[in-house]
Homo-oligomer: A and B are copies of this chain.
């Protein structure tokens, strides 16, 4: 017997069992592995349930302790469906509309992580499930602890994971573009205070002989050093594999970089591993957007896989486009590892990387004079205001787009269809009149009716041709913008530390030289933030230009086609 701790909604066709918080279930097979147990509910239904969603009556310790190490493979199976008390959310995410989960986030107005952002250092999080209260609404996919990635199927992976559990002091919470709330133990969450900006501001001397990240002064201000050839990659050819004797399945994608043109295979969990590494390493300086939402569900598996692949492609493209990220060892490893051994070696190395968190700033070398701390603060505030405003704007557009999508695929085509049917119906009544010389009119009316049925079809299909890309782009930006409060937070914390300089010197906590070093280093941080903002702006201008053009182009085609069809229909009536 076991008690269910958190709601869990089964993925259809995946041998899973939906359970609700507080429910009592009977464990039928504890040896399934992979973080899963087989259980039976009171209605006699049997299926797999994530081990750490339940509490076994006999021995609480037994289940709670290894849960982190044996958590289910959550990366693919969408185990964390919305809790049962939010039924509309459940319905929406099962609907045809892939953006249904966005809505939750956007209807509530401004994102909570903007409001919750403290001025100074970010404090550690408690270990309770759903520790952020209302903030969890917009942070559903917040840091899950490395254990969540575990999988019996791959022993080597286990080793790696237990390694990484200890070290990653620089990890910050993921800025969330995702929707449904997730309840999972968060006791591994690394508090920011342990690795705040002072680690960098006050470190005795920057590590020697490591790779440098240069910032140049460009026309628009500080800019990263961009490579001559833009890295790019294709994510393609998803293939299904199975594990656990066919009980569970996974998808493997081909990733083909334009540098080698040689495909490498990766599962979603590998992408997730990459994401964690990038977040650890660059998160303090560069917003690393979340991977495509784990909650994305399609009505059919094919649709789901296609959507996930499309979004992984988008994520990879954005990472490839970033001069600092794309040039990093870990990213290059992901794209170009030669064989299993190469991959494993690279992975271990990446996980042992000590230049993570705020220490990334120690690699950065601006080729420009130091900035005054006041200017640093002004810049930081300006970026904060802009990203907050853009976040609101993007969410507004997503909400509007979501509603428009619903109308275009729901009531509107039905109405056009009914208009079409009404014309055709009247036409067939006319045909029955027995009056001579009616054929021209009835043929024309039938044709007009069919035209409106075609228009109905067009209306229903149109959002996938234009609105889809507008939504995807804005969803990506929502994810990206969701990272800024954390990134900017690191800068604000550093600025606060510098402001405290005199007091710290007076209290003999630091030396006057330390104070000078801190001001110099916060200047470096500011250059990094400015370079990143300029990177963001230039990408934003490119992306919005492209997506607006695409949207309007398709809209023009759409309306022109309708006009053309109606012109055809019109021409069949007799001119009198």
Whether, in the assembled complex, A352 has its beta carbon less than 8 Å from a beta carbon of chain B, the answer is: no
Q: Which residue of B lies closest to A406 (CB)?
A: B415
Closest partner residue, chain B, to A544 (CB atom): B441
Q: How far is the CA of A403 from the CA of B415 in the complex (A)?
A: 8
CB contacts under 8 Å to B, within A542-569, are 542, 544-546, 548-549, 552-553, 555-556, 559-560, 562-563, 566-567, 569
Among A80-88, A393-401, A499-507, which stretch is in contact with chain B? A393-401
16 new A-B pairs (CB below 8 Å) besides A403-B418, A437-B541? A219-B436, A220-B435, A220-B436, A389-B429, A392-B429, A393-B422, A396-B422, A401-B419, A435-B534, A438-B541, A441-B545, A445-B544, A552-B566, A556-B563, A556-B567, A560-B560
CB-CB < 8 A to A574: which residues of B?
Answer: 545
Tell whether A393 pairs with B426 under 8 Å between CB atoms, given A400-B419, A436-B220, A576-B542: yes
A412 close to B (CB within 8 Å): yes
Who on chain B is nearest to A570 by CB?
B552
Complex contacts, A573 vs chain B, CB 8 Å: 545, 548-549, 552
Q: List 22 A-B contacts (CB under 8 A).
A: A382-B434, A386-B429, A386-B433, A393-B422, A396-B422, A400-B419, A404-B415, A412-B412, A423-B548, A426-B544, A430-B544, A433-B537, A437-B541, A441-B544, A444-B545, A448-B548, A448-B552, A548-B573, A553-B570, A555-B566, A556-B567, A556-B570
Q: Do B541 and A432 have beta carbons less than 8 Å apart? A: no
In the complex, which residues of chain B have a beta carbon less than 8 angstroms from the beta carbon of A541? 430, 435, 437-438, 441
Chain B residues contacting A560 (CB-CB under 8 Å) are 559-560, 563
What is the CA–CA distance of A553 and B418 in the complex, to the nearest angstrom?
20
Q: CA separation between A403 and B553, bound complex, in Å? A: 30
A227 interface hit (Cβ, 8 Å): no
CB <8 Å contact, B386 and A432: yes
Q: Which residue of chain B lies nearest to A394 when distances are taken between CB atoms in the complex?
A: B426
| Contact bitstring A440-455, B, C-beta under 8 A = 1, else 0 | 0100110010000000
A425 close to B (CB within 8 Å): yes
- A396 CA to B421 CA in the complex, in Å? 9
Interface residues of A (CB under 8 A from B): 219-220, 382, 385-386, 389-390, 392-394, 396-397, 400-401, 403-404, 407, 411-412, 415, 418-419, 421-423, 425-426, 429-430, 432-438, 441, 444-445, 448, 533-534, 537-538, 540-542, 544-546, 548-549, 552-553, 555-556, 559-560, 562-563, 566-567, 569-570, 573-576
Please determine whether A575 and B549 come into contact, CB atoms closer than 8 angstroms: yes
Whether A444 pairs with B548 at a CB distance below 8 angstroms is yes
Complex contacts, A407 vs chain B, CB 8 Å: 411-412, 415
**Minimum CB–CB distance for A391 against chain B, Å:** 9
Residue of B with least CB distance to A555 = B566
The answer to whether A570 and B549 have CB atoms under 8 Å apart is yes
Chain B minimum-CB-distance residue to A477: B426
Residues of B within 8 A of A423 (CB): 397, 548
Taking a contact as CB atoms under 8 Å apart, the answer to whether A400 and B386 are in contact is no
Q: What distance in Å separates the Cβ of A374 from its nearest Cβ neighbour in chain B?
A: 17
CA distance A422 to B425 in the complex (A): 41
CA distance A560 to B542 in the complex (A): 29
What are the 7 tightest A-B residue pairs by CB atom distance, in nearest-first order? A559-B563, A552-B570, A435-B537, A393-B426, A397-B422, A560-B563, A393-B429
Q: Most chain-B CB neighbours within 10 Å: which of A422, A437, A545, A567? A: A422
Residues of chain B contacted by A415 (CB below 8 angstroms):
400, 403-404, 407
Which of A407, A419, A573 is packed against the most chain B CB atoms within 10 Å? Answer: A573
User: Across the interface, which residues of B come within 8 angstroms of A426, CB to CB?
Assistant: 390, 393-394, 396-397, 544
A557 closest partner in B (C-beta): B563
Residue from B430, B544, B576 in contact with A546 in the complex, judged by beta carbons closer than 8 Å: B576
What residues of B have a CB within 8 angstroms of the CB of A430 in the complex?
Answer: 390, 540-541, 544
Task: Given A542-B576, A576-B545, verify A429-B566 contact (CB < 8 Å).
Answer: no
Cα distance, A544 to B448, chains bound together (Å): 12
Across the interface, which residues of B come within 8 angstroms of A563, CB to CB? 556, 559-560, 563
Please name all residues of chain B whose beta carbon is closer than 8 Å to the beta carbon of A533 when the two chains form the complex. 435
A569 to B445 CA separation, bound complex (whole angstroms): 35
The answer to whether residues A566 and B556 also contact, given A389-B429, A548-B448 and a CB cut-off of 8 A, is yes
